[in-house]
Amino acid sequence: MSTQLENVTTETCQDWMLNGAIPEADTEISGIGAILAFLLSAYITFAIVLISYLLGSIDTSLLRPVDLYVHRLPSQRRTSISWHKALHQCVLLLSDQQIVTGIAVCMAGFIALHGRISVYHFQIVIMLAWMSSSVHLSALTMLGEYFRKRPGVLGWRIVGMLVLLILLLAALAPTNSNLWATQWTPDSEHYEKTSWAIPAKCFFFHTWGEGVNPDAPLSYLILTLSYIWKIGALFRSSRNVFHRRVRGPYEYFLERILHKEAIKASKCRGKRRLSWIYYATMVVYIILLALFEFSASFAASLWLSYVGLVYGTIQIVIPRQQNSWWNSKENSWTFGQIVPLVLLIQPIGAILENYRSRNHKASSDQDSLASEEEAYELNLSLDNALSSSRSIPNSLTFSETFAALEVIRPSARSLEVLEHQMPFYSSALFTTLIAWIQVGIAVISGVVFWIDADSIGYVSSHNYYFVLIGLGGFSGVMIIWTLGSIPLSRVFK
Is the pLDDT confidence value at 21 over 80?
Answer: yes
Measured N-to-C along each axis, helices 216-233 and 151-171 cross at an angle, to the nearest 10 degrees, of 180
Within 8 A by CB and 6+ apart from 391, the residues are: none
Confidence of residue 191 (pLDDT cuts 50, 70, 90): low
Within 8 A by CB and 6+ apart from 174, the residues are: 119, 122, 180, 200, 203, 204
User: d(Cα 309, Cα 226) in Å, to the nearest integer?
Assistant: 14
pLDDT in tens, 228-238: 888 887 787 88
Q: What per-residue confidence (pLDDT) applies to 367?
A: 43
- Which residues on adjacent β-strands are paired with residue 177? 212
Q: What per-residue confidence (pLDDT) applies to 167?
A: 93
Confidence of residue 339 (pLDDT cuts 50, 70, 90): confident
Q: What per-residue confidence (pLDDT) applies to 126?
A: 92
Amino acid type, 158: I
Is the pLDDT confidence value at 430 over 90?
Answer: yes
Helix (H) or strand (E) holding 447: helix 428-455
pLDDT in tens, 443-486: 999 998 998 888 887 877 778 788 889 999 999 999 999 999 99
Query: In terms of pLDDT, which residue wins out, 129 or 347?
Result: 129
For residue 303, give the 3-state DSSP assignment: helix
pLDDT in tens, 372-400: 444 444 444 455 544 444 444 446 788 88
Give how far the C-alpha of residue 461 lies from the chain's centroid of Cα atoms, to the nearest Å. 21
Confidence of residue 421 (pLDDT cuts 50, 70, 90): confident
Half-sphere exposure of 219 (CA within 13 A, CB side): 23
Task: Give the Cα-Cα-Cα angle 108, 113, 116 (nearest 5 degrees).
Answer: 125
User: d(Cα 265, Cα 260) in Å, to the nearest integer?
Assistant: 9
Mean pLDDT, rounded, for 192-209: 84
Query: In terms of pLDDT, which residue wins out, 131 or 280?
Result: 280
Within 8 A by CB and 6+ apart from 9, the residues are: none
Confidence of residue 290 (pLDDT cuts 50, 70, 90): very high
- Which residues on adjacent β-strands are paired with residue 118? 199
Is the pLDDT confidence value at 319 over 70?
Answer: yes
Q: What per-residue confidence (pLDDT) applies to 375?
A: 46
Q: What per-residue confidence (pLDDT) applies to 473?
A: 92
Half-sphere exposure of 196 (CA within 13 A, CB side): 28
Q: What per-residue confidence (pLDDT) applies to 348?
A: 65
For residue 59, give the 3-state DSSP assignment: coil
Within 8 A by CB and 6+ apart from 237, the residues are: none
For residue 270, give the 3-state DSSP assignment: coil
Q: What per-residue confidence (pLDDT) applies to 371?
A: 45
Confidence of residue 341 (pLDDT cuts 50, 70, 90): confident
Q: Cβ distance 363 to 110 under 8 Å?
A: no
Q: What per-residue confidence (pLDDT) applies to 74?
A: 66
- Which residues on adjacent β-strands are paired with residue 194? 21
Is the pLDDT confidence value at 358 over 60?
Answer: no
Domain residue ranges in the chain: 10-487
User: d(Cα 415, Cα 242) in Å, to the nearest integer?
Assistant: 9
Q: What per-residue confidence (pLDDT) applies to 146?
A: 78
Half-sphere exposure of 84 (CA within 13 A, CB side): 21
pLDDT > 70 fraction of the chain, expressed in percent and rounded = 83
Mean pLDDT value across the chain: 80
Q: Cβ distance 2 to 24 under 8 Å?
A: yes
Please report which residue ranges of 172-275 form alpha helices under DSSP H.
Answer: 216-233, 236-242, 248-266
pLDDT > 90 fraction of the chain, expressed in percent and rounded = 21
Is the pLDDT confidence value at 18 over 60?
Answer: yes
DSSP letters spanning 339-351: HHHHTTHHHHHHH
pLDDT in tens, 362-371: 444 444 444 4
Amino acid type, 480: I
pLDDT in tens, 50-104: 888 888 778 777 788 898 888 887 655 555 676 777 777 778 888 888 888 889 8
User: d(Cα 427, Cα 289) in Å, to the nearest integer?
Assistant: 12
Burial bucket for residue 209 (CB in 10 Å: 0-12, 13-18, 19+)? exposed
Is the pLDDT confidence value at 280 over 90?
Answer: yes
Q: What per-residue confidence (pLDDT) applies to 330?
A: 86
